[in-house]
Amino acid sequence: MVISLVLAAILCWTAGFWILFRIPLCQRSSSPAADTKRVSIIIPARNEAHNLGRLLESVRTQAGRPHETVVVDDNSEDNTAEVARKHGARVVSCPPLPDGWLGKPWACRCGAGEAGGDILLFLDADLFFEPDGLQRLTDAFENQSGVLSVAPYHVVKKPYETFSGFFNLMQMVGTGVFAFGNKARARGMFGPCVMIGRRLYEEIGGHETVKDRVLEHFALGGVVDRKGVPIELRGGRKSLNTRMYPNGWRELIAGWTKSFAIGARETPSRIMIPVNIWISGINMSIVILILSLLFGTTAEITAAIVVYLLYAGQITFQFRRLGTFSPLLSMLYPLPLFVFLGVFFSSSYRRKRRLSAVWKGRKVG
């Protein structure tokens, strides 16, 4: 029985490379466009004083400076506005949240209304650039004909942050565009970084079209796609980084819970099937190891260890493509997997019962 499970688990293991095969990055252009347009960076910020300095300092030291940096102070309860001004950003005070709007779409809308650039770059406050990161994004944007969205590279500082690994992985996988042999169009975007031309932004109605959506980036991507405009998705390694949820377990769990079940629902079925196969294989590898250690022969124990190491190596490889995740904790993959599954099912339950999550003092969902 154990050997049959081993063979099944190895077959499931191959799906782990199929679902996340190639991650294109933002590259410097060998022939930059002569008519470089003005870039307005827009940062919606609510209680982000602890993050803003790092992002704004990374903007200040870019070789290619933006036209302007606009921080939208979304009724913060800390010194967000003071930190933004200290680092040279223009601060826009967001009016009180109107009925029917969620916080981030409203802040993005307010920032876009104040920005004067030809290109709008919406960034979350917990991001920061590599030394030539902004130029890489700008070159990538100007060498395509639609909207650019980048998944930031996750810089991990503390061991518990490695537990975001499966969430980061599923964010990338869920788009459906990084799978082996994929030829499908992207129909959603990554929330932390969206780069869009002002004219297109105004033509589609901007964030007003997604004002009540928790995952406004998915919804806005759908609006762009229905207009027939291509969406280019890239990985952030070498250009744009993030450090997610640096304030402990509670922040990490709350941050992922607020949106993850919705994101899974948006994942194309052609991707969900191999994802479920792969997750089943991971669970199978854990069960096989436990059963073989309890009841197996020497050959079965050896086979179970081989399967476990295959998955450990694969998960470590995939995690390192997305961030500086600890190889040691990646090798102990049952731990971050169980956290991922627990948050996923909790988020699904809350979604089904229509229970709101709380994020930065506001109810969402």
What CA–CA distance (Å, rounded) separates 132 from 32?
A: 14
**Predicted pLDDT of residue 261:** 54
pLDDT band per the 50, 70, 90 thresholds, residue 183: confident
Examine the domain organization and report whether 314 and 170 are in the same domain. no
pLDDT > 70 fraction of the chain, expressed in percent and rounded: 90
Q: Residue 187 above 50 pLDDT?
A: yes
Q: What mean pLDDT comes out for the span 26-31?
A: 82
**Residue 90 belongs to what domain range?**
39-266
At residue 28's C-alpha, the angle toward residues 27 and 31, to 5°, is 125
Q: What mean pLDDT comes out for the span 198-222?
A: 93
Report if residue 117 sits inside a domain.
yes
Report if residue 34 sits inside a domain.
no
Examine the domain organization and report whether 114 and 259 are in the same domain. yes
Domain boundary, last residue among 266, 291, 319: 266
Domain boundary, last residue among 239, 266, 293: 266
Examine the domain organization and report whether 166 and 271 are in the same domain. no
The phi-psi region of residue 25 (left if phi > 0; otherwise alpha if psi is between -120 and 50; otherwise beta) is: beta
Examine the domain organization and report whether 271 and 258 are in the same domain. no
What CA–CA distance (Å, rounded) separates 153 from 234?
A: 11
pLDDT band per the 50, 70, 90 thresholds, residue 34: very low
Examine the domain organization and report whether 333 and 214 are in the same domain. no
Q: Residue 246 above 90 pLDDT?
A: no
Examine the domain organization and report whether 247 and 177 are in the same domain. yes
Examine the domain organization and report whether 275 and 261 are in the same domain. no
Examine the domain organization and report whether 128 and 231 are in the same domain. yes
Examine the domain organization and report whether 80 and 203 are in the same domain. yes
Q: Residue 159 above 80 pLDDT?
A: yes
Could you give the count of Cα atoms lying within 13 Å of 257 in the half-sphere of its Cβ? 21
Q: What mean pLDDT comes out for the span 118-126?
A: 96
Domain count, the chain: 2
Domain boundary, last residue among 266, 287, 309: 266
Could you give the count of Cα atoms lying within 13 Å of 233 in the half-sphere of its Cβ? 26
**Which pTM value belongs to this model?**
0.91
pLDDT band per the 50, 70, 90 thresholds, residue 354: low
Examine the domain organization and report whether 142 and 103 are in the same domain. yes
Report if residue 29 sits inside a domain.
no
Q: Residue 235 above 70 pLDDT?
A: yes
Q: For residue 13, which amino acid is it?
A: W
Say how many C-beta atoms besides its own lie within 10 A of residue 47's C-beta.
Answer: 17
Report if residue 206 sits inside a domain.
yes
Residue 102 sits in a domain of what CATH number? 3.90.550.10
Examine the domain organization and report whether 245 and 343 are in the same domain. no
Report if residue 12 sits inside a domain.
yes
Q: Show Cβ contacts of residue 137 under 8 Å, excluding neighbours closer than 6 positions.
A: 26, 121, 148, 150, 193, 195, 239, 240
Q: Residue 167 above 50 pLDDT?
A: yes
Examine the domain organization and report whether 274 and 258 are in the same domain. no
Report if residue 321 sits inside a domain.
yes
Residues in the chain: 365
Report if residue 62 sits inside a domain.
yes
Report if residue 261 sits inside a domain.
yes
